[in-house]
Structure 1
């Protein structure tokens, strides 16, 4: 009985997590029309082993890059958050510090900063020569073997089950059999079966087959867009992280999703490491290095990573990333330039958007660019009329 009550509490908590940033979507509003009834029904389906993943909506997005997205039904999103709340506290301590994607307090900026840190450390602050090897996995999400993924998760959970109190829910542990049941349902679900396709077939023109679940091998692929897919991708490549750090003994290493780097003073060591990594991915994880995304170069020549270029004593934003940010600022500028007055709420949202972009630019050599943006645009009046300390920090 106690476990049942804790599960119901967890389902409600997962619902509140799932609705963040999803308010007023049709899917979410439909679910909330009979909120308590739907949550209790979901709880009973999970408790009695009747839960099955529903139909997804598939569509194409073109920005920042062209991708195939599978959007889960809101009911399934609740389950994704429930499973994430169970698994994330268990696996988070297992991940290496230099795994940056989809983790609290980390991200692309942290990845850029850590690359610079590793280069400085390996070169004794740019006084010694060193090399950077950058690698990428071809069609990563579409190539993940679901059975291998589940075996990795199950093996770890069963091996360390004694650490968890099965009578306690997300406040300290979880019911092992319940978590394994939900993991099986989510991992082995094929979102292409019975999915609702939004848009036309022409939307898929230009999308490589390696980027589509419709072309994935049987039993392979995770849908981009699911919260659980982000966590599962880190769990899957944690095997690679441990191999590189422990077996190869690479000290200066970092990974963002499937984009990773190694820094070392010996070029031949990195070339040998590349072959060992290639074999490990092929034999253990059924993955392949992208043949056109293998870069080996001296650190002094500048290293492009996650939208930035790290050079000795400075870092710049690559032109493609800068163009995208400037376009977003132009869109905000157009909104600020409308004749209709903006409500206080919209002004605050507008200022938050400007602060976000300019705050990001602050981490690169862009001082004059930031001043130019705020001096020349119609955003300036809105920005200056909403004074706060964060605004001042962006120009320092």
Structure 2
């Protein structure tokens, strides 16, 4: 957390030194309570130790800036513990660490309710139309650390219960000879290798996209799943006290948050959204879909939704969907490919009926978990645009026959061609380009600012001499 804060402040500092405009002076911005507490546990950034040059290279590759900053922080703490053990920040840090340890192992710590922060789904707020937002849950510093520790512990012991084809929020495993946590790149590589194995032969693909997964997952379903997990023989071999404490924190995590009783109420309070400069803000909801699916007679008494951005939510997603994964694996005949990354999935098979059978098993599992989905649409698709517009699709042909399907399939920000080509999905590329345009645009505005400290000869033309 301190490393992330250091990087953010460094960016703000680089802007500040180029302009005298008070709007860009980060010293005028009051830090959050979490930031103030966090900074009190460490010396000022200017007193951090420099990382030795030989340690900035790992396996012949320069380490990332985040890793280098973490190394600097660790070196600083080692220095102070050895040379200035009476530094005031060290006693604060040690006392806080003790608090965390007591909270994790004491069995009586209560997680506090998170602050809800609206995050726009679109790039900019519309001054007239309704602006749909995602509810991002922000916990206090102490809660964040305790939840992170609990998540690390539970992920490590529950990870063996999950199938390999589930890639999100997993523990480290051996991937191509290297111990690492899977990323969204690995399932795409698996899809490409699968496609290569079948050459230009016919393959059928099914996709299903859930609606508001984190906002609709049912607490009773979650508790039932985890109670079953905690009773597994493999899990009971762990420390009884550690399991009991982790289970309490996990269930407290559910206790302090529901979407339908906590977040939805904020739709009636526009001052909540205006605090974050969002006019006509609204948290989207799928009430009709949940009722029409027959999951609930009414939603008043149900406890639904888990914190987006919370440390334990990824683990909960894998646990809830694990039973669905198992239903698909029962259809494994050596030709089936199933990959899932959180609530995004693909089913591929050379035989349409086999693909359809596995997809129906998936749909049945989703219904059993009381989750909402985008209704799957079958081929033919009227146009290329129509194909990409649909978020869930019945078994379509992945190949040259556009009438029966598409030559491309999309998954976790990538698109893969049936002949093996790969490209970044257009929407993902545009999103990244907008980020870069914003960075460049902000810098250009600063350089044009009358209060800009940089002189014209500060910037040089680096283009080759004509």
Q: 1:298 aligns with which of 397, 415, 440?
A: 397
Q: Deviations over 1:164-190 (max 9, x none)?
A: 3428xxxxxx72222222222113332
* d(CA) in 1 for partners of 2:4, 2:300: 31
Q: Does 1:125 align with 2:199?
A: yes
Q: Which runs of 5+ in 2 are unaligned?
A: 10-30, 41-91, 124-132, 171-179, 288-298, 377-390, 400-406
Per mean C-alpha deviation after superposition, the further-off stretch among 312-321 and 24-33 is: 24-33
* CA–CA distance in structure 2, aligned partners of residues 191 and 36 of structure 1: 34
Using the TM superposition, name which of 86-95 and 20-29 deviates more.
Answer: 20-29
8 Å CA contact 1:58–1:198 kept in 2: the answer is no
CA distance in 2, matches of 1:20, 1:156: 35
Q: Say which is worse superposed, 272-281 or 39-48, in terms of deviation.
A: 39-48
Q: Is the 8 A contact 1:98 1:114 kept in 2?
A: no
Q: How many pairs does the alignment contain?
A: 318
CA positional deviation for 1:264: 0.6
Matches of 1:160 and 1:203, distance apart in 2: 52
How far did residue 22 of structure 1 move? 4.6
Structure-2 residue corresponding to 1:200? 274
Instruction: Confirm or deny that 1:324 pairs with 2:422.
Output: no
| More displaced stretch, 143-152 vs 43-52 | 43-52
| Match runs of 1:1-396 below 5 Å | 19-22=2-5, 26-32=32-38, 33=40, 35-62=93-120, 66-103=133-170, 105-121=181-197, 124-126=198-200, 128-160=201-233, 164-166=237-239, 175-190=242-257, 198-200=272-274, 205=281, 207-210=283-286, 218-247=302-331, 251-283=336-368, 285-291=369-375, 293-295=391-393, 296-300=395-399, 301-311=407-417, 312-334=419-441, 339=447
Q: 1:190 to 1:63 in 2, by over 3 A?
A: closer
Shift of residue 105, structure 1, vs aligned partner: 3.3
SS at match of 2:273: coil
* Corresponding residue number in structure 2 for 1:348: none
Contact conserved, 2:258 with 2:304, CA < 8 A, in 1? no
- Asked whether the 8 Å contact 1:303–1:310 carries over to 2, the reply is yes
Q: 1:191, CA displacement in angstroms?
A: 5.2
* Structure with the higher fraction of residues in helix conformation: 1
SS in 2 for 1:111: helix
Gap change, CA 1:191 and 1:274, over 3 Å in 2: closer
Unaligned runs of 5+ in 1: 1-17, 168-173, 343-377, 385-396
Q: Cα deviations across residues 26-79 of structure 1 (Å, max 9, x unaligned)?
A: 232343445544544454445443321213111221257842211112221011
Q: Secondary structure at the match of 1:99?
A: coil
CA distance 1:22–1:102, shift in 2 (3 Å)? farther
Query: 1:162/1:132 Cα in 2 relative to 1: closer, same or farther (>3 Å)?
Result: closer
Q: CA shift at 1:248, angstroms?
A: 5.9
CA distance in 1, matches of 2:35, 2:423: 43
Q: Distance in 1 between matches of 2:300 and 2:426?
A: 33
**TM-score, normalising length from structure 2?**
0.59
User: Any idea what SS the aligned residue of 2:396 has?
Assistant: strand
| Partner Cα distance (2:147, 2:370) in 1 | 25
